[in-house]
A and B are shown apart, each in its own frame.
Chain A
Amino acid sequence: MFIRASSMISFQPTFRNPGFSGRLSPLGKQSSLITPSYENIPLLDRRRMSTVLKMGITCSMDCLEQAPFQDPDAIIVGTSMGCRTQTRNFFDNVLEAKDGPISPTPFIFSTHNSVAAQVSMRLQNYSYNMTHTHGTLSFEHALLDSILGLSEGFKNVLVGGADELEPTLYNMPARVGRDDLTVAIGAGFFLLSAGSAEGRPTLVDVACNGLIDSVAELIAEFVKKNSLSFEEIDLVLYAGGKQTHKELSLLFHVGKLVDYEAFSGTWFTNSCFGLAFAVDVLTVEDHPVYGNCRNILICNNVLSENLGLVLLTRS
């Protein structure tokens, strides 16, 4: 299966900007979401929808426009928190309303599957529609579900990761437990298609490991399962900070290790940024920073207890 199109909204200039992977600089304290115009979303919806929904819909539509393709066999989304700002809005409405009527709008848009659902409605798409919400492995499970679908006969799957922030309800940095995190948000969507295509990266394999014992052992197993050696992996894009870097440096030459989280910031589905980054590197000829990579491993260790692995190769 190959990645026919990808679209990413983040704190970096990733949206509709091929070659962005060569022009990234680490995030600073002042970094914020680079918001596109959301021109595909009607004004009324733009006002009432939370950021995660707007990002998710916009990336989905952009992916399909790029392909161009309008009729995926599945829409699969990974999101750890869903539309949490709507959750907070609805709470606030309830607490402020006393005995008066309360608008149900934030409530109905607060379900975790709102992004996948709204995309299906915009496309009039009646096919498989799924939302995986397993914390830092949400996006990897969405990818795994896509791979299952393609092996079951789907031809094209629209898959993405998206998250927004609601610090009043949940203390994400404390949960991650690492120093100097740059908390961020974003969405990345991909059109996965069966077969292969010249110049488009092949998605080789995905692994979702929850409650892990050892990063190194699981990576060794994954690389071996895919008949590769550590030397054959040209680039390892990782998230997880210093501890993850330490573990990876036992397996790989440190020159191959790139901390994608330094560019994306920390959110639970930021491995979709890792994937968009890898796709960009693999589609640029003679990449100015990373050269002509063949195999890229994305290693998501954002929460130390979970390990998501994604393997991509140049076609």
Chain B
Amino acid sequence: VTSIGIVSPIGLDAGENFKSLALGRGGIRLSAVYNVMTGDVTLSNEQIVRQLDLPASDYSRTTLLALIAAREAWGGSKHDPLIRTGLISATSIGGLDRSEKSYIERRLKGLEGTSKELVHDIASTTDAVARDIGIKGCISTISTACSSGANSIMYGARLMQNNLLDRALVGGSDPLVRYSVEGFRALGIYDPEVCKPFDARRKGLNLGEGSAFMVLENEHSISRSGRKPICKLTGWNNSADAFHQTSSSADGKGAWLSIIKALEKARIQPTQVDYINAHGTGTRNNDISESKAFIKVFGRDMAPFSSTKGFIGHTLAAAGAIEAVFSVMAIQTQSVLPNLHFETPIEDTGLQPAVKLERRSIEHVLSTSFGFGGNCTSLVFSKVK
């Protein structure tokens, strides 16, 4: 990993995000639009278009958020015909923010028929980022619900390890849209207050929006680009929970499989993990299932862990990418990141997440992401020796 970029409810770049994490300053508020607690990026679409000096204004918000993070991550990287470069991006929304608006408008006017929208297909937002950065060829979009961001990082790494790419810009983006807000409302899993991951009194999740990207480079790419690695992506795995479309299994089988196989890939023992950035959505179901998986892998005496969703909410397809960037920051700054609003451990597990930023020696970080359909992905980031 040679660089990172992020935009979230707690900051418009990597520096601002880390500062908020360190100060315990969350970004979840009562949404005036949706009347639930949400984590909003504090820029309007118009502000982003101006800030990025974009040629047009009719972008999907998915693209706009992705452009902020992708441009920051790409930073001073240079195009080089001898560095085979790809882009893998994750989203669950794509251009749906625009098509939902046009669909609702047309329906309210009583019009049926074909949409005029051309950007609904979720690849269009990835292509817009590719055009902006100047990447051609290996461009892909992954959509596996809430694990998408982690999967795009994994796919980029695997394309590199199989010698098809030397460098990959990988990440994900999801905006807050009416579709997902109403979807999770229908599921009845909102916490009316700010979510409390891993707390016995947790009531549910809050939705958030954002985007994060990172640049992965192999040795060859680094030798030409001259960039210094921040840390290494050493382990990854995706496993299925094969249980239910929206619920995690009681024993967290898919989560457990993805964690042990990612550690195996990184060639480390569970005891070598120094910090875990958990999925920890704050729902009754996820947090107990994930805790069970943790206990099965690590025992009760596990490394410090936290869910950062109390800061930004659940950013769906972007969550895996955002939390991977937070994991990179944990190594970069040698700190354990805090879990906001935790007071009482879940009786069954007794697990206590870290509640304050704590500086300590961190060599290996595990990041977990789980999505609808039982899609479980774990990534391991390690300090460069």
Q: Which of B107, B140, B145, B162 contacts A95 (CB 8 A)?
A: B107
Contact between chains at A170 and B140 (CB < 8 Å):
no
Q: Residues of A contacting B185 with CB < 8 Å?
A: 102
Interface string of A34-60 (1 = CB under 8 A from B): 000000000000000000000000000
B55 at the interface (CB under 8 A from A): no
The complex places the Cα of A95 from the Cα of B105 at a distance, in Å, of 11
Interface size in chain A (residues, C-beta < 8 A): 66
Q: Residues of B contacting A208 with CB < 8 Å?
A: 137-140
Contact between chains at B143 and A151 (CB < 8 Å):
no
A113-B179 contact in complex given A126-B257, A127-B239, A170-B117, C-beta closer than 8 Å: no
B256-287 interface (Cβ within 8 A of A): 257
Q: How far is the CB of B369 from chain A (nearest CB, A)?
A: 13
Contact between chains at B121 and A81 (CB < 8 Å):
yes
Contact between chains at A75 and B240 (CB < 8 Å):
yes
**CB nearest neighbor in B for A120:** B240
A17 at the interface (CB under 8 A from B): no
B385 at the interface (CB under 8 A from A): no
Interface string of A62-86 (1 = CB under 8 A from B): 0000000000000100001110000
Q: How far is the CB of A108 from chain B (nearest CB, A)?
A: 5
Q: Residues of B contacting A128 with CB < 8 Å?
A: 238-240
B97 at the interface (CB under 8 A from A): no
Most-contacted residue by chain B among A81, A131, A148 (CB, 10 A): A131
**CB nearest neighbor in B for A129:** B240
Interface string of B121-148 (1 = CB under 8 A from A): 1111011001100011111111111000
Contact between chains at A210 and B130 (CB < 8 Å):
yes
Contact between chains at A132 and B141 (CB < 8 Å):
yes
Q: Residues of A contacting B178 with CB < 8 Å?
A: 94
Q: Residues of A contacting B186 with CB < 8 Å?
A: 90, 93, 101-104, 107
A135-B124 contact in complex given A145-B155, A169-B117, C-beta closer than 8 Å: yes
A141 at the interface (CB under 8 A from B): yes
The complex places the Cα of A138 from the Cα of B121 at a distance, in Å, of 11
Q: How far is the CB of A272 from chain B (nearest CB, A)?
A: 16
Contact between chains at A126 and B121 (CB < 8 Å):
no
B380 at the interface (CB under 8 A from A): no
Q: Which of A104, A209, A210 contacts B127 (CB 8 A)?
A: A210
A126-B140 contact in complex given A117-B375, A121-B242, A210-B127, C-beta closer than 8 Å: no
A113-B144 contact in complex given A129-B373, A129-B375, A169-B103, C-beta closer than 8 Å: yes
Q: Which of B96, B103, B139, B243 contacts A168 (CB 8 A)?
A: B103
A141-B140 contact in complex given A111-B92, A126-B240, C-beta closer than 8 Å: yes
**CB nearest neighbor in B for A137:** B140
Q: How far is the CB of B345 from chain A (nearest CB, A)?
A: 29
A167 at the interface (CB under 8 A from B): yes
The complex places the Cα of A102 from the Cα of B184 at a distance, in Å, of 11
State which size class the interface on B falls in: 35 or more
Most-contacted residue by chain A among B117, B143, B238, B375 (CB, 10 A): B143
Q: Residues of B contacting A87 with CB < 8 Å?
A: 96, 179
Contact between chains at A121 and B243 (CB < 8 Å):
yes
The complex places the Cα of A145 from the Cα of B115 at a distance, in Å, of 33
A244 at the interface (CB under 8 A from B): no
B332 at the interface (CB under 8 A from A): no
B139-176 interface (Cβ within 8 A of A): 139-145, 151, 155, 158-159, 162, 164
Contact between chains at A114 and B245 (CB < 8 Å):
yes
A202 at the interface (CB under 8 A from B): no
Contact between chains at B121 and A135 (CB < 8 Å):
yes
Q: Residues of A contacting B371 with CB < 8 Å?
A: 111, 113
Contact between chains at B121 and A175 (CB < 8 Å):
yes
Q: How far is the CB of B241 from chain A (nearest CB, A)?
A: 7
The complex places the Cα of A123 from the Cα of B179 at a distance, in Å, of 30
B187 at the interface (CB under 8 A from A): yes
Contact between chains at A268 and B121 (CB < 8 Å):
yes
Contact between chains at A133 and B240 (CB < 8 Å):
no
A250 at the interface (CB under 8 A from B): no
Contact between chains at B140 and A151 (CB < 8 Å):
no
Q: Residues of A contacting B245 with CB < 8 Å?
A: 108-109, 114, 117-118, 121
Contact between chains at B144 and A112 (CB < 8 Å):
yes
Contact between chains at B158 and A148 (CB < 8 Å):
yes
Q: How far is the CB of A83 from chain B (nearest CB, A)?
A: 11
B109 at the interface (CB under 8 A from A): no
The complex places the Cα of A82 from the Cα of B94 at a distance, in Å, of 12
The complex places the Cα of A167 from the Cα of B120 at a distance, in Å, of 11
Contact between chains at A209 and B137 (CB < 8 Å):
yes
The complex places the Cα of A145 from the Cα of B88 at a distance, in Å, of 13
Q: How far is the CB of A78 from chain B (nearest CB, A)?
A: 10
**CB nearest neighbor in A for B265:** A152
Q: How far is the CB of A176 from chain B (nearest CB, A)?
A: 10
Q: Residues of A contacting B253 with CB < 8 Å?
A: 126
Most-contacted residue by chain B among A104, A111, A144 (CB, 10 A): A111
Contact between chains at B127 and A148 (CB < 8 Å):
no
B374 at the interface (CB under 8 A from A): yes
The complex places the Cα of A126 from the Cα of B185 at a distance, in Å, of 29
The complex places the Cα of A92 from the Cα of B106 at a distance, in Å, of 12
Contact between chains at A113 and B143 (CB < 8 Å):
yes
9 A-B pairs closest in CB distance:
A117-B373, A135-B123, A210-B139, A107-B183, A112-B143, A170-B120, A104-B186, A120-B240, A129-B240
9 contacts between A and B (CB under 8 A): A87-B96, A104-B246, A112-B145, A117-B375, A167-B115, A168-B106, A168-B113, A208-B137, A210-B127
11 further A-B contacts with Cβ under 8 Å, apart from A87-B179, A133-B123, are A80-B121, A107-B187, A117-B375, A120-B373, A128-B239, A133-B141, A137-B140, A145-B155, A169-B99, A169-B103, A170-B120
